[in-house]
Amino acid sequence: MDNLSHTATASIPTFNHETCRNFSAKHGLAVRAIAIEVDDAELAFTTSVAHGAKPSASPILLDNGAVITEVHLYGDVVLRYVSYSNSENDDSSPDNWFLPKFEAVSSFPLDYGIRRLDHAVGNVPELAPALNYVKEFTGFHEFAEFTAEDVGTSESGLNAVVLANNEETVLLPINEPVLGTKRKSQIQLIWSTMKGLECNIWRLPTIFIEIIQRVGCMLKDEKGREYQKGACGGFGKGNFSELFKSIEEYEKTLEAKRISETTSA
């Protein structure tokens, strides 16, 4: 309850009210920070900056339990590095899944089967500069590439590249719009269009949650623990065009509604 008090400070020290308001005014409900767990957040920060990353937040120690740092990723989005002082924590305990001042909210006995974050998509005006910048300071490689022919329709489309770390457990797809088409690119309409069940969670289509099932591709780590290879089964580019067609059909219904309302008025 202390965290709900009007005098409580932000659980993430890098939170800034003015930045939050400006970001919300510009982007609506959207994701500003993408966090990845690393062995040493301070080392990840200094190494990234040494390779061209623009710093956003220097290392911060949280309750002697975790360190966070931030660098600029693309646009107004930051990449947040997180490391824990005890890297040998038992991952089976929910208490070890959260930063200090965060806690699990149990939904027991309900289980929706969602186990982890698969990928986080970013949309940018120009793909090449963003790719070169992120690849340079992360060392990530190009995992997959999609063009308008793969994922577009006759009326709109986008180009996309998926970046991945060496183990391909961290996936960062980046999209750019295809201009000059009959309709606006999907990037100009929504902020994430990849494979899965798309659920609009705000009145404006700026953010989507995708529910993805990946089957197979099981591997074992150095301790013999089983895990699934990143992006098992790919990104389902065959679903792109169908998804975009449904978005375009939805657009047409909105246009017809506006015309009807204007006529009746």
167 within domain boundaries: yes
Is the model's pTM score more than 0.85? Answer: no
> Out of 40-54, 73-87, 132-146, 192-206, which region has the weakest mean confidence (pLDDT)?
192-206
Same domain flag for 135 and 63: no
Domain range for 85 is: 2-96
Query: Residue 205 has which token pair?
Result: 């289509």
Q: pLDDT tens across 210-250, in order? A: 778 888 889 888 889 888 888 888 776 666 667 667 777 77
- What's residue 191's pLDDT? 41
Question: Distance between CA atoms of 65 and 98, rounded to whole angstroms?
Answer: 10
| Contact criterion met (CB below 8 Å) for 208 and 198 | yes
Same domain, 83 and 185: no
pLDDT of 254 > 80? The answer is no
| Maximum mean pLDDT: which of 64-78, 101-115, 193-207, 251-265 | 64-78
Determine the 3-state secondary structure of 116 from DSSP.
coil
Q: How many domains are there within the chain?
A: 2
Does residue 227 share a domain with residue 135? yes
Residue 265 lies in a domain: no
